Chain A
Amino acid sequence: MTDVSYPDVVTLAVPLFVAAILAEIVWIAVRGRDGHAGRYETRDAMTSLLMGTGNVVSGLLLGFIAWGFFMTLWQITPLDLGTAWWVVVLCFVLDDLRYYWVHRFGHRIRWVWASHVNHHSSQHYNLTTALRQTWTGTFTFMMIVRAPLILLGFHPAMVLFVGGLNLIYQFWIHTEAIGRLPRWVEAVMNTPSHHRVHHGRNAKYLDANYAGVFIVWDKLFGTFVAEDDREKVDYGLVHNLGTFNPLRVAFHEWVAIFRDVTRPGLTLRQRLMYAVAPPGWSHDGSRETSDQIKARHRTAPPGEAEAPGLARP
């Protein structure tokens, strides 16, 4: 098989993104901002949209690196599953599993977090937040996690196509305008409720719900936390940004890694840990990882059941 092509679905969805954002703004304005419909702030929204624009531009400039890597793998593999509809469906499901792990790495490995942090840097949760995407994803080398799919015989164009569909699915769940969906949907799919938890900076919501499309991955791998109506989600980072500048949003954690790694007086291991340990790790204990934050918020004595999201590992 040589000529396989699929539409660039993310680009095609851009008009839909714009229309949906405008509709959400109108909906919030009509419902009143103090309700549960959501919040917008001009500079925050503009930063998110500029991050989304930059993500598209970085894809145009750097996309050839991942594509070259994938096509090299495609030349190597003897397997070719073809383009039947069921292959596309299977590819979509397996790529969603791939997304789950890349996303989990994105929260647990500082090198990958440096790219992903910008998506969590808004203190708002609306449809523009969905577009607050990375400019530096290529440098995380997480394209490697897609390698098994291509080596198994899924064409690179198909893998990127289903990845685009995955991204589009995740757009609409970045909203407070939708409460909870029917129970079967909440049981299987990633929903606004589940993803609100993922964007929470509350101790119990940290490092939860990594799913892209199917929430079953979180339930399978023990990272699922349900939205608790008694604890409203507080959106943003553990230490929120003090800037709306997209350049700073895009690069601040990379600069922070560089500063930490090049500190005087550290061992080689400590320098490495500043790059790959979970965010918040420090050689002198002066910062907190999410595990340490959770531990500080535990109230139940050892041996007794703890609140979801705060349970001991």
Chain B
Amino acid sequence: MPLWLLATIVVVGLAAVALLTHLLGWSRARAFVDEAEAMRAWDREFSADPARRADLLPGGHAAVVYSARGTGLVWTMGLDSTARPLAGARLRQTRRGLTIRFPDMAAPSVTLPLAPSERDDWHRRLQETLT
């Protein structure tokens, strides 16, 4: 098969999959309904260190989780979720909200969308867990 034909099929295929899944509504990000769901998502990642408590962030796309070993963040990834301990993370306020950078190439950062009025409060609360 000529390379130009292969490249065309790949590009058209990628575009078709992206368009079709988006039109079907499969690009909408998941949000946690409540703290219990966020804690289950944490336990799914860290079953040896289960969540004791969680604070859901506005919008439900992330939650701060408190476990025996410390504090962590669980957040939605598309329709699914992932989580990381907050140890070693760095916080920065941005125009969209609060960005958390992890020392992990597999989960480099997550931006928590927060209204300007919410940023200081969440920044302080998260910073307290890191110190």
Q: Which residues of A contact B (CB under 8 A)?
A: 8, 11-12, 14-15, 17-18, 21-22, 25, 29, 33, 39-46, 49-50, 53, 56, 123-124, 128, 234, 236, 239-244, 248, 251-253, 255-256, 288, 296
Contact = CB atoms under 8 A, between A and B. Distances in A.
Nearest to A249: B106
Interface in B57-111: 75, 77-82, 84, 102, 104-108, 110
Given A39-B79, A240-B82, A242-B110, A22 B16 contact: yes
B26 A40 contact: yes
A15 B9 contact: yes
Contact of B1 (A12, A41, A44): A12
Contacts of B118: none
B44 interface: yes
Contacts of A252: 105-106
Contact of B106 (A8, A45, A234, A242): A242
B14 A46 contact: yes
A240 B108 CA distance: 12
Number of chain B interface residues as a range: 35 or more
Contacts of A128: 17
Contacts of B16: 18, 22
Given A18-B16, A53-B14, A240-B80, 14 more contacts: A14-B13, A21-B17, A42-B26, A46-B14, A49-B10, A123-B78, A239-B106, A240-B77, A240-B81, A248-B108, A251-B105, A253-B106, A256-B105, A256-B106
Contact of B13 (A21, A234, A239, A240): A21
A47 B56 CA distance: 28
A42 B27 contact: yes
Contacts of B24: 25, 29, 40
A74 B107 CA distance: 44
13 contacts: A40-B24, A43-B27, A44-B78, A46-B18, A123-B80, A124-B79, A244-B78, A248-B108, A251-B105, A253-B106, A256-B105, A256-B106, A296-B48
